[in-house]
């Protein structure tokens, strides 16, 4: 893998992390996630 390939991978990883962190700022998403996890153990 060349330098451009590594840069593309790191860019994709950074974009994915930014998307996940953006979801954590939405209270509705956190409530839905908690409900989904709780439903697994009922």
Helix (H) or strand (E) holding 25: none
* The token pair that represents 42 in the structure block: 């009922």
Q: Give the list of residues 6+ apart from residue 29 with CB closer than 8 angstroms, or none.
A: 23
What is the pTM (predicted TM-score) of this model?
Answer: 0.59
**Domain around 27:** 3-40
pLDDT of residue 39: 95
pLDDT of residue 14: 97
**pLDDT truncated to tens, each residue of the chain (42 aa)?**
799 999 999 999 999 999 988 888 888 988 998 999 999 998
pLDDT of residue 9: 96
* The token pair that represents 20 in the structure block: 């996940």
Number of domains within the chain: 1
């Amino acid at each position: 893998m060349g330098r451009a390939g590594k840069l593309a991978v790191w860019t994709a990883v950074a974009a994915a992390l930014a998307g996940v962190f953006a979801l954590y700022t939405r209270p509705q998403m956190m409530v839905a996630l908690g409900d989904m996890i709780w439903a697994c153990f009922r």
